[in-house]
Structure 1
């Protein structure tokens, strides 16, 4: 995972190693087990765990007997020891979550993204929402380690700037990281939304298994987060995952076309032109698309043949795109999520897996698992908050280097 800018860390490398081991233990862990799993000396483990107890990161969870000898004290993560805030800036909605140290969503809030407001006004609205959420949750602000922002690309991670996302009007070269940090008086980092979604599954999923996966993000636009060997793939500038140029077709007898024909706005336009939905006066804003997309899915659920055909073609396009990505990356899992996915998940997940595995283009010698995100609509915001915790608590080899 990636370090953010000016975020606090919990201490040295050994401290991060031990805290990470405690975090990943489902039922708690003793000091003896920590020494065995980390390779650190019992004295080092004892010193570090004492420090973590004093600082409120872990708690004493009682003792257990393990045969002959002194009972062992079990250590567990103190979920309320620290918190992080995640913000997902989507062209349709803004989601804000408060995440505890155990990756539980303590509180969340969703507000509509202002379509006509200046970016600066929207940032002020985000800051106000964060303040309200923290106050309502009754959390001590000194325990909040920072804010992660997930935004549509392209972004400049180093500068903390949203460059010019095609579906988010008025956001050219907006320094959201620094402006939000000033408004909240907290450290802030910026990540691309699809990457943040992948981080949520990797970090907050609570497992250390070696994972190779695609996160298929179904929002106002389409994108993919990529996980290889338990690491999120970001690319040179942090903008990996754009699938706008990915083409599908031919294999199903239809002309080749961009995969983004499965975008909700495109499907809504098709439904209007084919009489499934009523025509709409003027251009469709993101909020209107959200409502009409729900009507399209409901029409398909009710048996409307035209609606079924439109969503069926979208399932084909998504399946073909996933076949190409899975073949390229040799992953064994696909996660689905994003603001629009819960609305259509029953329809899409009933079709996509079989179409992927039965595709004539499928070359992998193994099947892959298909899972909906455990975080629902909050996934990108949870991922953004997870980045803050990851930076603070994950052991990094570069921390061992001598710096001037």
Structure 2
């Protein structure tokens, strides 16, 4: 098959993307440093950065002394170029956050959701949350580059974006179409919540600097983002990473997905609480799942039953992590999600020990296991990086130029 011919426009987009990405992740940098780091000629760097500056995508960020010559001007991506919104549609609530282009958080709104929310209710809460963050900051939608959304299920990308989330009763839900019908006119990007959390931790958190990593999300549900050579592995239909529905016990506990013995049926927050209720013989105090989970963790120092349930959970989680180590040979495993962070803060040594007992010795010795560093905002933060990633990948050539700037798609 003949290779696709590279056009001048393709080359221009590549150069813009390369320089813009380097400044975004590693800036501020001088033009000389950009040339050294990217391999582009000094003339190309000068021309492209001048273009990006005219479009207000990048701005000067001070100067640095050079060896014997004039001080070199430092460049960075301008945080004020635009804004992005990140949405976390969880099983119990919706979180909407607004950021500038440097991912400084400007506003956060949270709305609860009923158990197994219908799509219409989730859409209503998302649109309401977006209106609220825009109103609270005074930011006009015209300055928003896009909205990223993390969802509790697999996302089928195509002409229609469909969300498959059996644990909340969603079957091929056309989420983007529903949001557009509800009046959201901004570009929309949808991905699995574990994958958006994974991108956030890889860009800004505990995964930064790793090329091969697994970012685990443990909350009501369980999932993972598998990163190989710096790229999230998606599989043939973007459903890769459903770690929670790998089998850990043949014929074991019934899972919410309808199968039996899934890892989620042993380490998902609801499953852990159900095991504690059965062992204790009565309900747990707390108005919601997170409060009950906190009560379980707090009871462990004084309750043998609570301690035993948590020790079992650490064992199951460690065994699940061992499977990830044996399958993917990552250099780093990051544990995130509200339940994962709570378990890890109290039981990380036990989890590591259980992983070591079940993993092959050599790959385990090369893997670090640590907690995520972005806390409970990781899914929404990662969702907000989806429009940023699109901007960087396209080199901003698909964006409408800022007022007063030249047409960024001109030849």
TM-score w.r.t. length of structure 2: 0.83
Q: Who is 2:336 aligned against? A: 337
SS of 1:167's partner is helix
Q: Who is 1:59 aligned against? A: 59
- 1:276 Cα deviation after fit: 7.0
- 1:380 Cα deviation after fit: 1.4
Q: Who is 1:72 aligned against? A: 72
C-alpha contact 1:315 1:352 (8 A) present in aligned 2: yes
C-alpha contact 1:276 1:296 (8 A) present in aligned 2: no
Provide, for residues 212-242 of structure 1, a one-character-per-residue CA deviation record: whole Å limited to 9, x for no partner.
1111110111111101110001111111111
1:56–1:107: structure 2 CA closer, same or farther, 3 Å change rule?
A: same
1:116–1:360: structure 2 CA closer, same or farther, 3 Å change rule?
A: closer
Q: Who is 1:4 aligned against? A: none
- 1:257 Cα deviation after fit: 4.5
1:359–1:138: structure 2 CA closer, same or farther, 3 Å change rule?
A: same
- List gaps (5 residues or longer) in structure 2: 1-11, 251-259, 399-411
**1-structure distance, mates of 2:391, 2:206:** 16
SS of 1:173's partner is strand
1:118–1:321: structure 2 CA closer, same or farther, 3 Å change rule?
A: closer
Match status 1:146 vs 2:146:
yes
For 1:118-267, list aligned pairs within 5 A: 118-158=118-158, 159-163=160-164, 165-169=165-169, 171-182=170-181, 183-205=183-205, 209-248=209-248, 257-260=261-264, 261-267=266-272
Q: Who is 2:26 aligned against? A: 25
C-alpha contact 1:17 1:395 (8 A) present in aligned 2: no
C-alpha contact 1:249 1:317 (8 A) present in aligned 2: no
**2-structure distance, mates of 1:248, 1:238:** 23
C-alpha contact 1:327 1:364 (8 A) present in aligned 2: yes
Match status 1:91 vs 2:105:
no
**2-structure distance, mates of 1:362, 1:243:** 21
**1-structure distance, mates of 2:237, 2:394:** 23
Q: Who is 1:269 aligned against? A: 274
**2-structure distance, mates of 1:172, 1:365:** 38
Number of residue pairs aligned between Structure 1 and Structure 2:
373
- List gaps (5 residues or longer) in structure 1: 1-10, 251-255, 400-404
SS of 1:75's partner is strand
C-alpha contact 1:149 1:191 (8 A) present in aligned 2: yes
- 1:178 Cα deviation after fit: 2.2
Q: Give every structure 1 segment of 4 or more consecutive aligned residues whose post-TM-superposition deviation is greater than 6 Å.
A: none
C-alpha contact 1:221 1:263 (8 A) present in aligned 2: yes
**1-structure distance, mates of 2:211, 2:86:** 23
C-alpha contact 1:247 1:321 (8 A) present in aligned 2: no
SS of 1:85's partner is strand
For 1:360-371, list aligned pairs within 5 A: 361-364=360-363, 366-371=365-370
- More RCO (CA 8 Å, sep 6+): 1
SS of 2:80's partner is coil
Provide, for residues 321-380 of structure 1, a one-character-per-residue CA deviation record: whole Å limited to 9, x for no partner.
111111111101111111323333322323211222243654526332122222211111
Provide, for residues 189-233 of structure 1, a one-character-per-residue CA deviation record: whole Å limited to 9, x for no partner.
211111111111223349973521111110111111101110001
SS of 2:167's partner is coil
**2-structure distance, mates of 1:73, 1:181:** 43
**2-structure distance, mates of 1:45, 1:305:** 64
Q: Who is 1:353 aligned against? A: 352
Range with greater deviation from structure 2 (318-327 or 177-186):
177-186
1:275–1:166: structure 2 CA closer, same or farther, 3 Å change rule?
A: same
C-alpha contact 2:322 2:359 (8 A) present in aligned 1: no
Q: Who is 2:283 aligned against? A: 278
Q: Who is 2:257 aligned against? A: none
Provide, for residues 250-273 of structure 1, a one-character-per-residue CA deviation record: whole Å limited to 9, x for no partner.
9xxxxx943221111111112222
1:238–1:23: structure 2 CA closer, same or farther, 3 Å change rule?
A: same
SS of 1:351's partner is helix
C-alpha contact 1:147 1:189 (8 A) present in aligned 2: yes
After superposition, the CA RMSD in angstroms is: 2.6
Range with greater deviation from structure 2 (304-313 or 106-115):
106-115
1:353–1:130: structure 2 CA closer, same or farther, 3 Å change rule?
A: same
Match status 1:374 vs 2:373:
yes
C-alpha contact 2:206 2:373 (8 A) present in aligned 1: no
